Amino acid sequence: MTMTTKILIWMVAGLVLGSLTNAFASDVAFIQDYFVNGLFHVVGAMFITGLKMLVVPLVTFSLICGVYGIGDIAKLGRVGIKAFGLFILTTALAITLAITVASIVGPGEGFELTGDQGEFTAPVAPPLTQVIIDLVPGNPVAAYAEGNMLQIIFFTILFAVCMLMVGEPGRKVAEGAERLNQIMMQVVTVVMHVAPYGVFALMAKTFALQGLGLITPMIAYFGTVVVVLLLHATGTLMTLLKLLSGVSPVMFLRKMRTVQIFAFSTSSSNATIPVNLRTTERRLGVDNPTASFIVPFGATINMDGTAIMQGVATIFIANVYGIALGLSGYLTVIGMAVLASIGTAGVPGVGLIMLAMVFNQVGLPVEGIALIMGVDRLLDMMRTAVNVTGDAAITTIVAKSEGSLNEAIFDDPEAGIVEEIHLPHAAADST
């Protein structure tokens, strides 16, 4: 049985168990205390923390090797510009599709406001100027300690470029980074072996706490987001992949399943970086320089799924409150959603914060966000899976355009599959 199948089985088991717990045992104190908030919570939280543990060292070593491996600053700039352009393009396409479909479906029309929809207090968003200033880490150690991805990318690239400039001493550090990168990749593989249980616990806890009943009154909104997410992931992104790189979207989606499951169960593009890096390099055949640069960059600034939620939510709230946005309003929403995604990290629930920024800009009632909060946890899982699919698709497209995609690896269904791990003493015994 492959690792993906195993994770999938445990994921479904967790989902079923969680939903049953929610339906039949939500007031059984023993189950809530010892399982939902006990075992499932602990195992799930350890799993997510374990993934986060990998992000900073892996991105750092891998990016040092990547930039040093490119060895050509003009190429690095070209890869960055291509990726950035595609990130903006796909996010804009995603939200345009969302607004179009939602305008046709009309979620929120005839929705009764009861006045007790709860509260949503909008966090204060930093101005764009600050977002740009913050790209430069005042203290790199703090950036690493906080896991600030854009600052880490900025500093690491600068560092690696200077390694190239100094010659011999830089080469020695690069050799060390190469070894460290190999070791970190092995740590990823080891952590992936506990994924089935981690995913199970996360699913069981989420669905035990999150009744599916919440969806019923919101079905038009929920359903529209889900349909557009599917359309974008399998339609827009795969068409771009086929047109711009010529590789098989079916093979791509098949190999992306594990990454999507990780994104779905953790709701975090950031926590999924290690698995996405491993998959783009070892399963899809993207070379390390391209993958190590674009995957973490995309996890922070490319959020197609989140943009889709924002597009549909805008139409939904506008309909509920009877506000006509007009063409200029929609264009502002598109522009704002794209900008908002650049400065915010891919962590759970950040989409709602971005939505508040968009609403402030177009004058929609921010408190309306309280209406969609109940179903946001589930949508967060799904949109994060789309976010990471976009990151990997763009990584593949850029790699292909740079001649850095190994198509023999891409076309081989078995390439880079997670295999049994052997502990050192077992290896020693067998020799």
DSSP result, 58-88: HHHHHHHHHHHHH--HHHHHHHHHHHHHHHH
Residues 266-325 that bind ligand ASP (CB under 6 A): 267-269, 303, 306
Q: If binding is defined by CB under 6 A, does position 384 make contact with ligand ASP?
A: yes
Q: Which of 170, 196, 311, 351 binds ligand ASP (CB under 6 A)?
A: 351
Nearest to 222 by CA among 349, 390, 18, 378: 378
Q: Which residues of 386-416 are buried (b: 16+ CB within 10 A; e: fewer)?
A: bbbbbbbbbbbbbbbbbebbeeebbeeeeeb
Q: If binding is defined by CB under 6 A, does position 350 make contact with ligand ASP?
A: yes
Q: Which is nearer to ligand ASP, 181 or 236 (CB)?
A: 236
Residues in CB range of 39: below 8 A, 6 or more apart: 201
Residues 230-269 that bind ligand ASP (CB under 6 A): 267-269
DSSP state of 112: P
DSSP result, 196-218: HHHHHHHHHHHHHHS-GGGGGGG
Candidates 74-82, 131-139, 142-150, 376-384 — which segment interacts with ligand ASP by CB under 6 A? 376-384
Query: Looking at beta carbons, which residue is closest to ligand ASP?
Result: 351
**Counting Cβ atoms within 10 Å, is residue 99 exposed (0-12), middle (13-18) or buried (19+)?**
buried
Rounded to a whole number of angstroms, the minimum distance from the CB of residue 280 to ligand ASP is: 16
Rounded to a whole number of angstroms, the minimum distance from the CB of residue 347 to ligand ASP is: 5
Q: If binding is defined by CB under 6 A, does position 206 make contact with ligand ASP?
A: no
Q: If binding is defined by CB under 6 A, does position 346 make contact with ligand ASP?
A: yes
Size of site (CB under 6 A) for ligand ASP:
15
Nearest to 314 by CA among 276, 280, 268, 352: 352
What distance in Å separates the CA atoms of residue 107 and residue 101, rounded to the nearest whole number?
Answer: 10
Q: Which of 288, 380, 389, 404 binds ligand ASP (CB under 6 A)?
A: 380
State phi, psi for 135 to the nearest 5 degrees.
Answer: -65, -30
Candidates 62-70, 187-195, 282-290, 344-352 — which segment interacts with ligand ASP by CB under 6 A? 344-352
Q: If binding is defined by CB under 6 A, does position 347 make contact with ligand ASP?
A: yes
Q: If binding is defined by CB under 6 A, does position 391 make contact with ligand ASP?
A: no
Q: Which is nearer to ligand ASP, 68 or 222 (CB)?
A: 222
Rounded to a whole number of angstroms, the minimum distance from the CB of residue 38 to ligand ASP is: 25
Residues within the interface to ligand ASP (CB under 6 A): 267-269, 303, 306, 346-351, 380, 383-384, 387
